Amino acid sequence: MVIFGVLAFILGLMSLINPNNTLNQLGFEIVDKSQRASHDYTLVFITASSMASFNIGVYYILAALNNLKKFYLWTVPFRMVTFTVFTISVLTGLAPARFEIVAVWELTGAILTGLALWYEKQKGIA
């Protein structure tokens, strides 16, 4: 949880600093701000998403430091839903293929968190 939190925090911060870097990494076309239409809110959306990543990173770090297992459990189904939505976005052509990296990230996080919780339950770890 701490690792995911730190990564989400750092990625959110990096995207707040340079939204075009995020667009580039995900395979979206980079359009200079001066070339964007007045109704193009791509950078606003990236800023909002980056702030969400920044915040969720802090939540995960705090949850890990306070051993909030219930929070961990809640993340598993929601990360699976996120995987599904992002995968459908790629399959329907709404997002470029590289966006599937984000979906796989979410699925991997859900599986690893679920397995860790299951393992701890089997071992009786509080």
What's the burial of 38, exposed, middle or buried (CB within 10 Å: 0-12/13-18/19+)? exposed
Question: Is the pTM for the entire model greater than 0.85?
Answer: no
Domain extents in the chain: 1-29+39-66, 69-126
Nearest to 22 by CA among 4, 5, 10: 10
pLDDT at 96: 87
pLDDT in tens, the chain (126 residues): 899 899 999 999 999 999 998 888 888 888 888 888 888 888 888 999 999 999 999 999 999 999 998 999 999 999 999 999 999 999 999 988 988 998 999 999 999 999 999 998 898 865
C-alpha closest to that of 77 among 109, 54, 50? 109
Give me the pLDDT at residue 126, please.
56
CA distances from 122 to 21, 74, 115, 117, 118 (A): 42, 19, 10, 9, 6
